[in-house]
Amino acid sequence: MRSITFSSILIVIIFYLSCVKPLYAEDGYEMWLRYHMIENQKLLSEYRTLIASIYPVADSPTMNAVSKELVLGLNGLLGVEVRVDELVREGSVVAGTPANSDVIASLNLESRLIGLGNEGYLIEETEYNGERIFIIAANEDIGVLYGAFGFLRKIQTNQNLDGVSFQSAPRVKYRIVNHWDNLNRRVERGYAGLSLWEWGTLPEYKHPRYTDYARFNASLGINAAAINNVNADPRILTDQFLKKAAVLADIFRPYGIRMFLSINFHSPVRIGGLETADPLDPEVIRFWKEKAEEIYSYIPDFGGFLVKADSEGQPGPHGYGRNHAQGANMLADTLEPHGGIVIWRAFVYDPEQDDRFREAYDEFVPLDGKFKENVILQVKNGPIDFQPREPFSPLFGALPETNTMIELQVTQEYFGFNIHLAYQGTLFKEALEADTYAKGEGSAVANIVDGSIFDYELTGMAGVINPGTDRNWTGHPFVQSSWYAFGRLAWDHTLTAEEIAEEWIRMTFSNNYDVVVPVKEIMMISREAGVNYRNPLGLTHLYAQGHHYGPAPWHHRAPRQDWTSAYYHRATEYGIGFDRTETGSNAVEQYHEPVAAVFRDVEKIPEKFLLWFHHVSWDHPMQSGRTLWEEMVYKYYKGVDQVRWMRKKWDELEGFIDDQRFQHVKALLEIQERDAVRWRDSCVLYFQTFSNMAIPGNYEKPEHDLQYYMELEHIIYVPDHWYGR
């Protein structure tokens, strides 16, 4: 009797230990490629029955990456050994192209693959010699790799594989990440440690991180990376750095990632010993031609140049009396024979102009049709600069003859750095879904960008990402989600922000509904919360100068007016907002009708954009029945309440996710709440000096006076800003 009791206790203990997975600390390094064993036991056994082995994949660098990933992923997720096996049998996963796999070739998939292009893929459960198998098929090796990641994603997110039949192809050609990494390894607006690229140990030492970085990007379908800051150090083009960059390009190549370099327009002078960088000067042209040849001798599939010219002090063709098209085309000429392109940024603004909003449009629309076919104009989503909310840039829809791509910012320059939680999938979608009406209704920014409205030769989406040496890559664990969202949308802009958030949570944290549901709620509200406590109702750019972290709506002195907050909000005793109608800068005229008509009309404009276009009185009636002043106060308080709610929700997750990441985010949310209160109180107290109206009685009163907050601006520690002081 005693022994029975003892052994049953032992059995219970063993059973318990085998079922309960300890929530051990995780540092976030694996990001969304977190191949931990499926938690749901029923699903796990189903997957184990369905998947038996991996049929050998052909021998090429990309196909080797495919088999490595499948082995890693399936072994981890299924918790049993899934091996590469020479036999096709029940449950084999067969990955390949008709050219490199006898099994795929025998299935006559040509008619189905034809529409998938070079990068698309097909995942299907099918039969081969009477055996039930899974195929991951594509026209090219890289499509197979994307398919392998797609297949693993299905398992990671616990989808049903029984009878699966799924195909996918990217909607734009260049899906590029932009790194703002300096050669001294500081990352401009990065906040996640030093640059990933160890220039000091390259080309000899190939840090394992480089391969993981490539895996993460490839898993989303990202196929290009500009690895250095757009404020480019000309030395990136010297022999020394090209040799180093070439090693990175070699590592990225099997993962389908083409390297781009940001270049400095003055390179002919700075590293070429010439006296001019005039794009029409024969010596300058020769410099670039030889440079291109040299680059391609190191990096045969080099993607091309990313150029910030005549912007924020960067040199450009204007310095020589030439225009942007002349500058871009000269570079494009030198890259063309090698298959390279020029990505020319439209982020320009001149201190002399009245309204920064207007400038990119005024500068580039007259040049429409003047750019070569291997040039793409890269336009930020909004007319100013990655603010928490902007209307779409009127350049989208205004350049029928110029390839135009969108630039989105993953790194949270204006969104609380590595400290605030702000999932930007919702922001990206808002920008992509905005209808430009360029060719009538249904001309969304996304359709401009994917080339379906104007038939662009080249299409693309760029994301400014921030990974650095921080163990979790992005500083705040949730910045990973915006990188993920950017990549998924670059592949397929029809996905919703919500479904992307859900995928990311399942892959990054857990498939448990008790985790998925609340984390998704937090993510989906987070961007709006950030807008509310910083700049509701179309306010914008109320940041302290330089670092863009804390509030400084009072800021009114800077080397340039358009670097002050007062320039943007224009608060007076009468009211607030930037008049961009006919009575002001008339920037509304840059939009197509009926967008212009809606933005122009103070009654029709969506309130979230109101102060972007109108200067309205403090007692202007809002839809809610409140006055503008009351509504503004309401929004600022709401933003803080939303952050408090996010904190509460997160706290409830204790024990459901690993402790390390739980505690990290918990602490960050605590800081975020404090910052949100500071934003709210600073802004409300400051704007009150104009409105002379009271904060409605039921709101908690700011703890300090305005003076206190103004002084705080200079005292409080701001990450990434205090270096060297």
| Between 219 and 262, CB nearer to ligand BDP | 262
Q: Please give the Cα distance from 356 to 362 (Å, whole number).
A: 10
| Between 413 and 528, CB nearer to ligand BDP | 413
> Using CB under 6 A, which of 65, 66, 202, 230 touches ligand BDP?
230
Least distance in Å: CB of 433 to ligand BDP?
A: 23
| Between 166 and 563, CB nearer to ligand BDP | 563
Is residue 612 within 8 Å of residue 580, measured between CB atoms?
Answer: yes
**Dihedral angle sign, alpha carbons of residues 673, 666, 608, 393:** positive
Name the DSSP class of 230.
S
The contacts of residue 564 (CB under 8 Å, 6+ apart) are 545, 555, 556, 557, 558
Least distance in Å: CB of 385 to ligand BDP?
A: 5
Q: Is 281 in the site for ligand BDP (CB under 6 A)?
A: no
Sketch the per residue contact string, 408 through 427, with ligand BDP: x for CB under 6 A, - otherwise: -----x--------------
Q: Which of 310, 359, 390, 413 is catalytic?
A: 413
The contacts of residue 414 (CB under 8 Å, 6+ apart) are 385, 386, 387, 388, 543, 548
Least distance in Å: CB of 347 to ligand BDP?
A: 5
Least distance in Å: CB of 570 to ligand BDP?
A: 21
> Using CB under 6 A, which of 134, 146, 344, 386 touches ligand BDP?
386
Q: Which of 385, 433, 457, 498 is catalytic?
A: 385
Is residue 617 within 8 Å of residue 610, measured between CB atoms?
Answer: no
Q: Please give the Cα distance from 346 to 359 (Å, whole number).
A: 9
Residue with tokens 């049993």: 80
Name the DSSP class of 85.
-
Q: Which of 110, 312, 651, 654 is catalytic?
A: 312
Is residue 360 within 8 Å of residue 349, measured between CB atoms?
Answer: yes
Sketch the per residue contact string, 295 through 324, with ligand BDP: x for CB under 6 A, - otherwise: -------------x----------------
At 461 the three-state DSSP class reads: strand
Q: Is 413 a catalytic residue?
A: yes
Q: Is 188 in the site for ligand BDP (CB under 6 A)?
A: yes
Shortest-Cβ-distance residue relative to ligand BDP: 385
The contacts of residue 370 (CB under 8 Å, 6+ apart) are 323, 325, 329, 402
Q: Is 373 a catalytic residue?
A: no
Q: Please give the Cα distance from 161 to 153 (Å, whole number).
A: 11
Q: Is 252 in the site for ligand BDP (CB under 6 A)?
A: no
Question: Residues 138 to 157: which contact ligand BDP by CB under 6 A?
Answer: none
Least distance in Å: CB of 414 to ligand BDP?
A: 8
| Between 280 and 558, CB nearer to ligand BDP | 558
**Which tokens hold the place of 610?**
């109101």
Over the range 499-529, which residues count as b (16 or more CB within 10 Å of their CB) and which as e? ebbbbbbbbbbbbbeebbebbbebbbbbbbb
> Using CB under 6 A, which of 333, 362, 385, 673 touches ligand BDP?
385
Sketch the per residue contact string, 345 through 364, with ligand BDP: x for CB under 6 A, - otherwise: --x-----------------
Q: Is 231 in the site for ligand BDP (CB under 6 A)?
A: yes
Least distance in Å: CB of 413 to ligand BDP?
A: 6
Q: Is 124 in the site for ligand BDP (CB under 6 A)?
A: no
Q: Taking Cα atoms as reference points, which of 596, 679, 666 lies closest to residue 635?
A: 679
| Between 231 and 469, CB nearer to ligand BDP | 231
Least distance in Å: CB of 171 to ligand BDP?
A: 24
Hey, which bits of 583-663 come out as E strands? 616-617
Active site residues: 312, 385, 413
Residues in contact with ligand BDP by the rule CB under 6 A:
188-189, 230-231, 308, 347, 385-386, 413
